[in-house]
Structure 1
Amino acid sequence: MSDTRWLERFLEAIQAERDAARNTTLSYARDLTDFSAFLVPRGLDLSTAGRPDIEAYLVDQADRGMADATRARRLSAIRQLYRFAFLEGWRTDDPAALIRGPRRRRALPASLAEAEVDRLLDAATAFGRTEADRLRDTCLMQILYATGLRVSELVSLPVAAARGDPRMILVRGKGGRERMVPLSPPAREALATWLGHLDARAEPGRPRSPHLFPSRGRRGHMTRERFFLLVKDLARFAGLDPTSISPHTLRHAFATHLLAHGADLRVIQTLLGHASIATTEIYTHVIEARLRELVLEKHPLATPAAALEADER
């Protein structure tokens, strides 16, 4: 089979067997297409490449300045492809099975201070050109900070989940897993106001959009890319550095602020939709780092003058 057919069959399989999200499938496709393109000038394809060729690809990635996380992700995609090919009988060996890639470095997630989040939320009420834009943006930002939803989960929320002034909403996350997340009073108020606007502008006899944040685009709802740019605009309007703020930053802020106020890590895991507690544990390091900074900056013995005074006593 051609490389194109290999990839088509593999991507179809992960979609069917794992219920992989569209973004996950696209990520696999990009990474494996890049590997396939690397093989072409060497007179190779996916069916003939061996372990040395995969290792040469990883070295080439490093030479091109690819981050360890990117190289580790691409090796993972290659491993899964060749494991699938071996099980399907396309190959009699698995050339990627014994290759060890770079270990992913778990960087501390960027977050925001509570005062900075307040500035973003205030910006959402004033930034939009029209009242509809301002109501929608306020609803988006309030729900995001109240729930810590992933961007794709937020923009694709069904309007049915928001009817009836709910205290909690049902969210369909990665792998089709569903979870319930609570709404804060400000989020419920913003949601009710936005729904009132949608109902008021609905035209009799015309079908209603099933999405809470409808759009005229192909997907029928606001895209992840559009919301990403919106958050950048809100950050700039609020006087914050837009290069350090994204929708994911708000998700991190949600978790970090909950933990700082005493929430249980298991509860945060459930709210974020993490399959493993290990993914959530990284937020404990954020709190530890902030506690160390607090001690060094605020403790009476942390300043040279205070330390000298203590010695004199």
Structure 2
Amino acid sequence: MTNGFTRLTEQFLVHIGVERGLATATVTAYESDIAKYTDWLETRGIHEPDAITKQDVEDYIAALGQAGESARSKARRLASIHEFHRFALGQHAVTADVSAAVKAPKGASTLPDVLTVDEVTRLLDTAAVGGSTDPVVLRDKALLEFMYATGCRVSEATGANLDDIDLDEHIARLMGKGSKQRLVPLGSYACRAITAYLNAGRGELERRSSAKIPERRALFLNKRGKRISRQSVWEIVKATGERAGITKPLHPHTLRHSFATHLIQGGADVRTVQELLGHASVTTTQIYTHVSPEALIETYLTAHPRAR
């Protein structure tokens, strides 16, 4: 990378890492994307940001496809390029954002795996295992209720501490990407499940710890009394789904996807869902505004004056 791009890239990385507070891993991903992009531009004799044209951006995305990158990967790299060009425009390093009109390749925006409301109910009811008082069962029920109630990321669930939960106010504090905190409501089902777990489950799990100093902070503990891991959450979701007879692919993010989709279907506006999910951009949230063909037909039949 020559001096034409070096300073702008350094400023961009400081901007997203410090001013916007993005996570270190995210900043590193941006850095990699932009380095690859500017290196490619220099092979075409382009050494200054203002010399880039829309055609150059389109040719770069096409070159990625020829190199075997998937539509999703190309879309992610293009998102980085969009951010870079917007920043360059804001810094007056360019006179126009030539990337703005370049769209992501078709097929890049695939809909996430989503459970129906009935499937979520079946999953959460199955986690209870007939009202068992086993501490692991109580934990699994509380964990899954918590994840669906808040729409949290798996890292936010495993990172949750006891003092992040206010059961009287029905509120949870989540630590999202870039160490950004947000408050989200906790529904009555989640509050009851967490209360049962705290009263009759967590203490027993903590006592199972072989550590000299027990885990006092973590909300969710594993069978050995330590903070639960991401892998354990994945296994809990998968095993509970199998017992519930759910054949769709299941992973921790399925509950987050379902949370967002059910809110949108229930009438929540996209901006509200964006805040609850902790998305930096509403564009990320808009994937949940998809409408099923059945819903489209039902709306048409009920709303169009000459549909019937």
Scaled by the length of structure 1, what TM-score is found? Answer: 0.66
What is the CA distance between 1:117 and its match in structure 2? 0.8
Aligned partner of residue 70 in structure 1, secondary structure: helix
User: Separation in 2 of the partners of 1:284 and 1:61?
Assistant: 29
Q: 1:25 to 1:137 in 2, by over 3 A?
A: farther
Give the partner amino acid of 1:237: R
Q: 1:133 to 1:8 in 2, by over 3 A?
A: farther
The answer on whether the counterparts of 1:160 and 1:210 sit within 8 Å (CA) in structure 2 is: yes
Q: 1:16 to 1:136 in 2, by over 3 A?
A: same
Query: 2:256 is matched with which residue: 251, 254, 266?
Result: 251
The aligned counterpart of 2:181 is: 178
1:91-110 mapped onto 2 (5 Å cutoff): 98-99=98-99, 101-103=102-104, 106-110=109-113
Give the partner amino acid of 1:251: R
CA offsets per residue over residues 257-300 of structure 1, 9 Å max, x none?
A: 234344455543433334555554554432x64423547999xx
RMSD of Structure 2 on Structure 1 (CA):
4.8
User: Separation in 2 of the partners of 1:264 and 1:13?
Assistant: 29
Aligned partner of residue 62 in structure 1, secondary structure: helix
The answer on whether the counterparts of 2:158 and 2:227 sit within 8 Å (CA) in structure 1 is: yes
Aligned partner of residue 170 in structure 1, secondary structure: strand
What is the CA distance between 1:64 and its match in structure 2? 4.2
Query: 1:144 is matched with which residue: 147, 157, 160?
Result: 147
Structure 1 residues without counterparts, runs of 5 or longer: 299-309
The aligned counterpart of 2:247 is: 241
What is the CA distance between 1:159 and its match in structure 2? 1.8
User: Separation in 2 of the partners of 1:254 and 1:191?
Assistant: 18
The aligned counterpart of 1:302 is: none
The aligned counterpart of 1:21 is: 23
What is the CA distance between 1:141 and its match in structure 2? 0.9
Moved more, 275-284 or 247-256: 275-284
The answer on whether the counterparts of 2:148 and 2:256 sit within 8 Å (CA) in structure 1 is: yes
The answer on whether the counterparts of 1:158 and 1:212 sit within 8 Å (CA) in structure 2 is: yes
Q: 1:19 to 1:119 in 2, by over 3 A?
A: same
What is the CA distance between 1:150 and its match in structure 2? 2.5
Q: 1:216 to 1:132 in 2, by over 3 A?
A: closer
The aligned counterpart of 1:191 is: 194
Q: 1:76 to 1:255 in 2, by over 3 A?
A: closer
Give the partner amino acid of 1:232: K
Query: 1:292 is matched with which residue: 287, 291, 296?
Result: 296
1:86-235 mapped onto 2 (5 Å cutoff): 98-99=98-99, 101-103=102-104, 106-126=109-129, 131-162=134-165, 165-196=168-199, 197-202=201-206, 206-214=213-221, 221-235=227-241
What is the CA distance between 1:161 and its match in structure 2? 1.3
The answer on whether the counterparts of 1:162 and 1:191 sit within 8 Å (CA) in structure 2 is: no
Give the partner amino acid of 2:233: F
User: Separation in 2 of the partners of 1:80 and 1:159?
Assistant: 37
1:59 aligns with 2:66: no
What is the CA distance between 1:184 and its match in structure 2? 1.8
Equivalences, count: 285
The aligned counterpart of 1:307 is: none
Give the partner amino acid of 2:245: G
Aligned partner of residue 181 in structure 1, secondary structure: strand
User: Separation in 1 of the partners of 2:83 and 2:235?
Assistant: 33
What is the CA distance between 1:144 and its match in structure 2? 1.3
User: Separation in 2 of the partners of 1:119 and 1:135?
Assistant: 16
User: Separation in 1 of the partners of 2:159 and 2:177?
Assistant: 13
What is the CA distance between 1:252 and its match in structure 2? 2.6
Give the partner amino acid of 1:258: L
Aligned partner of residue 232 in structure 1, secondary structure: helix
Aligned partner of residue 239 in structure 1, secondary structure: coil
Structure 2 residues without counterparts, runs of 5 or longer: 303-307
What is the CA distance between 1:98 and its match in structure 2? 3.6
Q: 1:292 to 1:249 in 2, by over 3 A?
A: same
Scaled by the length of structure 2, what TM-score is found? Answer: 0.66
